[in-house]
Amino acid sequence: MAEVIIVESREAAGALVADAIVRLVRGNPEAVLGLATGSTPLPVYEALRARVGELDLSKVRGFALDEYVGIDPRHPESYRSVITREVVEPLGLDPRRVRVPDGSLDGIEHHGSDYEEAIGEAGGIDLQILGIGTDGHIGFNEPGSSFASITRVKTLTQQTRDDNARFFDSVDDVPMHCITQGLGTILRARHLVLLAFGEGKAAAVAGAVEGPVTASLPGSAIQLHPRASVVVDEAAASRLRFAEYYRYTYDNKPDWQVL
């Protein structure tokens, strides 16, 4: 099962995951990162930003998880814009090495397979950052997504559109469709790091970590992965049945065994 780490704050989570990324990039300056959008990964990017002086990230390659379909890439809430603003520019990544699924309608039927090919050519993703939706989605893999799925177009649930309405003027402006790495794509990454904060994520986290492995809760796919880390605050951990055991395990973790 996943290693569950319960931390005091978002900042502590960000620092912990940033440490893992720093170690990865020191070992391989051309490491391939799977980049997530949404509010959850922001503390990771902020913690990494504080470390750019000690680390050259210019050769790192990145693949975003998902994008809205039909959105103008220059729209401030397109994931292309978010990744540029929150990750590429502050961390000094080379924009030519960072891809976001192409959500433009022209040729949309090929954009998923092109993306899969690009990930394959880069040698696969070393560390995939993940958030989780309140309905248990990861990337934009809504309930019912196949565990074997690859990058493709999906329809967003009303719940996800409502959740994401805060980034737009109104819920009607939230696109109906998206293009997302599949659960199969995500499961091929070599290390999964899922973060979640706040009470609103507690049920999704409990389902993903301890619930049955089911397409009805796509985040539960992480239970099939040999190296998955889940970093949550107390509120997001509040419905975990074995929280005490996770704390005990982490408190007694050998020094040599890092995230």
Q: How far is the CB of 210 from ligand GLP (least distance, A)?
A: 19
Residue 40 or 220 with smaller CB distance to ligand GLP = 40
Residue 36 or 230 with smaller CB distance to ligand GLP = 36
Of 135, 163, 225, 233, which one is the catalytic site residue?
135
Pattern 161-200, ligand GLP, x by CB under 6 A: ---x------------------------------------
Of 86, 142, 163, 233, which one is the catalytic site residue?
142
How far are the Cα atoms of 33, 37, 65, 197, 257 from residue 62, in angstroms, in the given order? 5, 12, 10, 24, 26
Question: Which residues share a beta bridge with 196?
Answer: 232
Q: Which of residues 77-136 bind ligand GLP (CB under 6 A)?
A: 131-133
Among 32, 65, 82, 209, interactor with ligand GLP by CB under 6 A:
65
Q: Residue 158 — φ and ψ, nearest 5°?
A: -60, -35
How far apart CA 131 and CA 71 sit, in angstroms, is 21
CB closest to ligand GLP, residue no: 131
Q: Is 135 a catalytic residue?
A: yes
Q: How far is the CB of 42 from ligand GLP (least distance, A)?
A: 8
Q: Is 225 a catalytic residue?
A: no
Q: Which of residues 13-42 bind ligand GLP (CB under 6 A)?
A: 36-40
How far apart CA 36 and CA 132 sit, in angstroms, is 10
Of 111, 137, 191, 225, which one is the catalytic site residue?
137
Q: Is 66 a catalytic residue?
A: yes
How far apart CA 248 and CA 140 sit, in angstroms, is 33
Q: Residue 183 — φ and ψ, nearest 5°?
A: -65, -35
Q: How far is the CB of 244 from ligand GLP (least distance, A)?
A: 26
- Number of Cβ within 10 Å of residue 125's Cβ equals 25
Instruction: Judge contact between 100 and 122, C-beta under 8 A.
Output: no
Our CA angle for 70, 73, 77, nearest 5°, is 90
253's tokens: 């973790």
Residue 4 or 35 with smaller CB distance to ligand GLP = 35
Residue 11 or 244 with smaller CB distance to ligand GLP = 11
Q: What is the largest CA-CA distance in the chain?
A: 53
Instruction: Judge contact between 103 and 97, C-beta under 8 A.
Output: no
Q: Is 117 a catalytic residue?
A: no
Catalytic residues: 66, 135, 137, 142
Give contact residues for ligand GLP (rule: CB under 6 A).
36-40, 65-66, 131-133, 139-140, 160, 164
